[in-house]
Amino acid sequence: MQRFVDPRAEPGAELQSYDLSTVLDSEVTIGLLANGFPDSVRFLDCVEEALRAALPGISTQRFNKGNASILAGDQLLDGITKECRAVVTAYGH
């Protein structure tokens, strides 16, 4: 006999709202950060296409951590902060 278990559990941590936002206008540069897993760059290609369709005139700047097993370094994060008003991060599989 097989027994199926529902993997969902009640959250153990208190929920916190995410309050960061920015105005997305034609002057905005959005960073696209791939984490280094396979397909993370390809996924961001699709995200970029959707962003450009929804927000004509935006600029994008691509970044790639290159190695999914390490943290993004200060130099990379400083570059994103200086060049972009918002950033989308992507995980591959």
Q: What pLDDT shows up at residue 16?
A: 82
Tell me the whole-structure pTM to 2 decimals.
0.76
- The ranges assigned to domains in the chain are 33-90
Token pair in block for residue 76: 């990379």
Q: What pLDDT shows up at residue 76?
A: 94
**Between the CA of residue 6 and those of 1, 2, 11, 79, 88, what are the distances in Å?**
17, 13, 14, 43, 31
Q: What pLDDT shows up at residue 24?
A: 84
Q: What's the rounded Cα separation, in Å, for the pair 15 and 5?
A: 25
Q: Could you tell me the mean pLDDT of each successive run of 10 residues in the chain, 93 residues long? A: 77 81 87 91 93 92 91 93 93 66
